[in-house]
Structure 1
């Protein structure tokens, strides 16, 4: 792809390396589509009606989202050099406003919201002019990057949100992504726009009553569902058409030309294929010209290998005479090794179309399944699983310090429904009860993630603290630093029953001013006494003096299941002596008798542990 963006050094992350913060423009990606400027380019991408191919725009948009997500990961694009890769999970609200005439278009994308392994990418297409460009399209537009993160304008062709997910190439499991920092008001506006695009639809239902549980009032039982719903809709309409009569099916085999760099069916190709059958279905339903108004939602449920046979089924699931618009749902199914198409869905998509020439007929559901599809056209919602759903099975032998998994095979689910005719009312319905755990128990604390609101508050406080010059030293109890530390250890902490370690190391270093001191709270001592496995690590550069080091012993908390520090030591002697003396102190004063201690590659720490704790060594 002929892509452009802020260039950054390419870094290969180690499997255990910590990801870092990036800004929004680091992932910026764009592609120029010279439909008007280059007749030869238009010839390759033109549709049957002389307009720009919408299927091609969908495919390129997915490519932009893919490259944007890859840039956010900040890794090389060579597959054999990276440990994680980007896949498309879903597309939301691809609202299309094609120009009346063929124009040059720029498609750009940038990451706007980041989860643990997910990346929300905002893809924007707008009309530009490639005329009067003697140096080439990219040279003329190279200075416009900073203006691309904006709200919709009169030149906007579409804005869509792609939900990408980072996965580990070897295991196929979600991989951690970099965090995202918004640096200005334009970037924050883009994040707000992405949130606005979630679960937005353009068809409004005005003539069907839906009860509070999300089903038509005619749906009182399975036995009378067909007759009641059909008669009510039929009698209230003039011309109508049954849902089953709008169904269209096709199939294709995935070829190597359709694959992504991972070797699976590329998401952009899938979007192009499902749009084509949706468009044909829409034309057959109306019997005249139609135009895609929006791709309301597309979800990718599974990966598809090269050589697989895909069956596409499209049908009109809802229509609105008042708006002259209707929805087409496309479902793709994979065939098994026997050539039989299963019920598992590889991908689903909902399109909204507009009839350009003729008044549309109403579509009428008759069976239970068709009524469920019809309801899907009336409401938008999603089902949330319990955070303890699923089951984790380790491939390795259990370790003493292994953290308990939060997955306990809970089947609880919460269905969330928003009605299009009354978008201010949202229905929440718990469809299954919790099993294998009790919500609200103390053991549940370790399974919760910190809320995004709390994370935002912490980030804001850190930013404010970093910007304020510190004029008050909170823990300075004397003008002399050594005297202040002595007061803090032997008076302030001693009053709270802290276990104190303090030693003058000058006798070991020819009179040089070297020290070592440590401390433990009563709670830390109690946790240490019942624990068997620990981690020991050193933190350097804790002050303006480069030789000062903080040593920390960490164990697993028995209730939260997360890391818990149980002892600290500060020293300016970077030999094994202070570590050995500190461990001796912990063994005598705090009953520190570990079964094992995990450290990094430090011979000094190894020697200290062997001398002070021969059993652990």
Structure 2
């Protein structure tokens, strides 16, 4: 564990031991109070409040006493009507974010009669030097001590439902980004911050609901308008409540936009005080370089390498040995591993900007990938990693989201599942790919091996090679992170 993260977490844990400061997921009774705000559709945005800054609750942990009597046109209704459909942790993070929208800016907006240009001119944005620890946020998921929260995150065999946790990771990355971009001036209009990509998610140890977990993170690299957010999930020691075992590590890239023009906005720069901070920053810069190299050498832009061409030829020779209809039990044709699903994006799926919440996309993609992995491996697969996911365009409410999952590569005990998300406009029929997810699963059984996936067309061969590249990168990452699940690969 790095000294910088260790110091920040030690302070967080020390504060958490004080009963008045402990930050845990809100009790389910709060969700019951909030549910009263979502019985009907949310009203149209107020033209005089384009930033949608409504009156927040008095405290993040407490709904107003008259929550059940909130009218359909109230400001609180606009903000919180979606929260009962999110996880407890995501709801808590969004509530905190709303609470930080200050009343001073609302007064400036009202004073200018809703003239957003005048408002922006009266409160220009200033860049502020920030330290990594300034954006540090930690939350506790009390699985061991709160049976209600445990039930919320429990899957059908009693383990942690990873898809739910993915929602929380995205929400936490957003909260960290907003904290970093805060310039300390109450009158400054808020930015729009969106998830540009999920660079990497690695499961390092089995996740158990028998222990409380701490989810924490901070900004570890900044570009001009982008920020790298490193998020860690760790098990808490049941006696001391100190962080004990790393469970999961994730990296997000968030991008700041002007809420009116949608143009990129420069974010606060980082000041690096310690060698550890410089090391983390250097790792972020290296990750950016690797992503650029991977983009330029993508099989969508460049032909396979000479070695990869030999792999394709060997696969073709092998495929000729098998009947197209009756291959051996340990051979699966790539095209026959496909599973599909379709979802109508409802208002309850939106984020604070009115588009579909990125965590929802990850959740739905993960669960379809898990189903495809289960059918392919004929068992209970173990999630190992999620690779570079780029959010190419926002997904509007009311669109149809079509997911296609297929197993594209396998080796020994693990395999790659690709999930493609296409947005379909029901009015025009236009179809656009918004995301491509790559997930690695292990066979799950102690000494079981998965079937060999076999491509039959050139397009499938390119999917196979792309999966092979990502598997090899993921395996090296697992080794670098000293993953306790390395044998599952």
Is the shorter-chain TM-score for this pair beyond 0.5, marking a shared fold?
yes
CA distance in 2, matches of 1:421, 1:24: 29
Q: Is 1:217–2:307 an aligned residue pair?
A: no
CA deviations over 1:547-593 (Å, ceiling 9, x no partner): xxxxxxxxxxxxxxxxxxxxxxxxxxxxxxxxxxxxxxxxxxxxxxx
User: 1:20-419, aligned counterparts within 5 Å?
Assistant: 20-74=128-182, 82-96=189-203, 97-100=205-208, 102-129=210-237, 155-192=245-282, 194=284, 212=305, 215-217=308-310, 227-228=316-317, 230-231=319-320, 239-321=330-412, 324-338=413-427, 340=429, 342=431, 344-357=432-445, 358-380=448-470
Instruction: Give the conservation status (yes or no) of the 8 Å contact 2:126–2:183.
Output: no
Over 3 Å counting, the alpha-carbon distance change for 1:286 and 1:180 in structure 2 is same
Residues of 2 paired with 1:217 and 1:77: CA distance?
60
Give the length in aligned residue pairs. 351
Local SS of the residue matching 1:155: strand
Distance change (3 Å), C-alpha of 1:172 and 1:211:
closer
Distance 1:131 1:54, change over 3 A: same
- The alpha-carbon deviation at position 185 of structure 1 amounts to 3.2
Whole-Å Cα distance in 2 between the matches of residues 162 and 351 of structure 1? Answer: 16
Q: Secondary structure at the match of 2:320?
A: helix
| Alpha-carbon offset, residue 179 of structure 1 | 0.5
- 2:390/2:435 contact within 8 Å kept: yes
Seen in structure 2, the aligned counterparts of structure 1 residues 420 and 53 have a Cα distance that, compared at 3 Å, is: closer
Aligned to 1:19: 127
- Secondary structure at 1:67 match in 2: helix
Residue 279 of structure 1 aligns to a residue whose secondary structure is: helix
Conserved in 2, the CA contact under 8 Å of 1:234 and 1:240?
no
Q: Is the 8 A contact 1:30 1:108 kept in 2?
A: yes
Structure 1 264/29 Cα, relative in aligned 2: closer, same or farther at 3 Å?
same
Number of the residue aligned with 1:502: none
The one of the two structures with greater contact order (alpha-carbon pairs below 8 A, sep at least 6) is: 2
CA spacing shift, 1:9–1:334, aligned 2, 3 Å: closer
Normalized per residue, the structure richer in helix is: 2
Q: Partners of 1:77 and 1:320 in 2: how far apart?
A: 54
The structure with the greater share of residues assigned to strand is 1
Task: Give distance in 2, aligned partners of 1:91 and 1:349.
Answer: 10
Cα 1:53–1:309, aligned 2, differ >3 Å: closer, same or farther?
A: same
Alpha-carbon distance between aligned partners in 2 of 1:232 and 1:111, rounded to the nearest angstrom: 53
For the 8 Å contact 2:400–2:426, the answer to whether it is kept is no
**TM-score w.r.t. structure 2 length?**
0.64
Conserved 8 A contact 2:337-2:407 = yes
- 1-structure distance, mates of 2:188, 2:354: 16
| Residues 422 and 352 of structure 1, relative CA distance in 2, 3 Å threshold | closer
What is the deviation of 1:233? Answer: 9.3
* TM-score normalised by the chain length of structure 1: 0.51
Write the distance in 2 (CA, Å) between the matches of 1:66 and 1:234. 51
For structure 2, list consecutive stretches of 5 or more residues without a partner in the other structure: 1-90, 106-119, 292-302, 478-489
Question: In terms of Rg, which structure is larger?
Answer: 1
CA RMSD after TM alignment: 3.7
Cα drift, residue 229 of structure 1: 6.9
CA contact (8 A) 2:385 2:474 kept: no
Alignment check: 8 A CA contact 1:297 1:351 kept: no
Q: Distance in 2 between matches of 1:286 and 1:241?
A: 10
1:172 is displaced (CA, Å) by 1.7
Aligned mates of 1:22, 1:9 — CA distance in 2: 20
Deviation at 1:194, TM superposition (A): 4.4
Q: Which runs of structure 2 are paired with 1:448-467 in the superposition (5 Å)?
A: none
Q: Secondary structure at the match of 1:35?
A: coil
With over 3 angstroms needed to count, the CA separation of the structure-2 counterparts of 1:254 and 1:186, relative to structure 1, is same
Structure 1 residue 40: Cα displacement:
1.1
In structure 1, C-alpha distance between the alignment counterparts of 2:442 and 2:263, rounded to whole Å? 40
Distance in 2 (CA, whole Å) between partners of 1:419 and 1:362 is 20
SS at match of 1:216: helix
Residue 373 of structure 1: how far off its partner (Å): 0.7
CA contact (8 A) 2:339 2:405 kept: yes
Kept after mapping to 1: 8 A contact 2:160/2:209: no
- Give secondary structure in 2 for the equivalent of 1:41: helix
